[in-house]
Chain A
């Protein structure tokens, strides 16, 4: 019943309340559903319940997952509730100003101890069921009533909310993992931090999330939106024609220098596609003042990040941090696609701005995200149905045996550009999506981080190191 060996030797004397972090396994038969040679993905990965359970174990049980922005919980006791996969967690600022996160489940009968979305200066969390009380450090402070006073086996000090195995921040973004053996967050992100900095470090003052979040439910497999943001600008022309028409009075524009500039970059399955067109995404927010603002900062941003990344800040671009954290540079929307079974997600959306931006610019970003990438936004409105039906059709037994085509841009690998990660030429390309699924297959196949960090999706230097070592 319990994995600790102490349990058997002291059976019946005292419960062993130490946290349990599940071990990964290996699912080579699932990994094979991604065929890199033929550039194909088997539709079962969008439908099968067993594969979904394996994803929760192999991916959401191990990967670093996005929790929150530091700015959401500035003071000790400030907290919010979110998910890591299907696991509900409380993220709370500690008295020493570090951040910790705990499973939102009471070790007594399992009830949630925190029901609200967020709050300020919590003193702790009291479970509604029997009144067990936990400090913001997760420790059990006490119980309701005096019944445990005389119970010799009751060891308050050994009971608490289960903390995540590791928690860390990258430039304001807090991530955590349930795997004690996972490499550091920076290792997990690898060279992708170079691209994250486009949004997180284009100004010395750092970033913040605007308050509140929009949450919605889409009946689709979580990988469809994740792959969409990792590299599918192709859909914008058809799916978002109406939104572009409403806001711009014309189509989506990738800039005059597309052939020369546009590329996709991928590192460990994280990916970004960009057109280096300076303001294409920002323009679609519909406020010319924002476009002027981004233009006005080009020089300052270039001094800070270099010419290439300064062009990325407002460009037509999209990105996913594997597995389920996505954002649109330029539009400033950051989002998590929480899995809810093979055919459902809960989407949470925030707006990221630089702390130093003037208030009216922040306000325009807030409204811009609301007007575009929000449930009533003119772009997001048309995404959901595509992902829902790409998922739902696979209920058809014969339908889901049919191949899917992920082969756009095979052979466009570009090693000539001095950019981090695996680079492909042109943003209209399935390359990042192929690498996203290759990463997915690595998580299915490998039960250890050495293999996970040295597979096909590892950035080129890592591959070079590996080859030298062999």
Chain B
């Protein structure tokens, strides 16, 4: 338990996160997308699993991340793909946790 908690990385201030998709770039990590819906926070790779386009240029619709390029939709939380181009993999969601000093996530796969 303790060791796991130590793996958590601070992502950003909670105040920065809205209902849009925030792009966060951390030293040593690929860019991330961060959003909050109904009080729940979500952290995922900014890179669309289909063709590497940036998901933070997309939007949230009906509880899904929508890629702005070919409109693949990924369910918030489990990453299941809807309406995706063929071969589009699911989106990874990282375990995350809101703490007093910001949002933390475990950036393992």
Query: With contacts A141-B53, A146-B51 known, what are 4 further pairs, Cβ within 8 A?
Result: A133-B68, A142-B70, A143-B69, A149-B52
CA distance A144 to B52 in the complex (A): 9
Query: Is residue A126 contacting chain B, with contact meaning CB distance below 8 A?
Result: yes
CA distance A123 to B68 in the complex (A): 8
Query: Is residue A131 contacting chain B, with contact meaning CB distance below 8 A?
Result: yes
B71 proximity list for chain A (CB < 8 A): 123-124, 126
Query: How distant is B99 from chain A, measured CB to nearest CB, in Å?
Result: 35
The chain B residue with its CB closest to the CB of A146 is B52
Total chain A interface residues with beta-carbon distance under 8 A: 13
11 contacts between A and B (CB under 8 A): A123-B68, A123-B71, A124-B71, A131-B70, A141-B53, A142-B53, A142-B68, A143-B51, A144-B51, A146-B52, A149-B52
Query: Is residue B66 contacting chain A, with contact meaning CB distance below 8 A?
Result: yes
Which A residues fall within an 8 A CB radius of B?
123-124, 126, 131, 133, 135, 141-146, 149
Which B residues fall within an 8 A CB radius of A?
51-53, 57, 66, 68-71, 85
B57 proximity list for chain A (CB < 8 A): 141
A149 proximity list for chain B (CB < 8 A): 52
CA distance A105 to B67 in the complex (A): 23
A146 proximity list for chain B (CB < 8 A): 51-52
A144 proximity list for chain B (CB < 8 A): 51, 70, 85
The chain B residue with its CB closest to the CB of A144 is B51
B85 proximity list for chain A (CB < 8 A): 131, 144
Q: Out of A123, A124, A135, A145, name the residue touching B51 (CB < 8 Å).
A: A145
The chain B residue with its CB closest to the CB of A142 is B69
B52 proximity list for chain A (CB < 8 A): 146, 149
The chain B residue with its CB closest to the CB of A156 is B53
Query: How distant is A149 from chain B, measured CB to nearest CB, in Å?
Result: 6
Query: How distant is B82 from chain A, measured CB to nearest CB, in Å?
Result: 13
CA distance A126 to B85 in the complex (A): 11
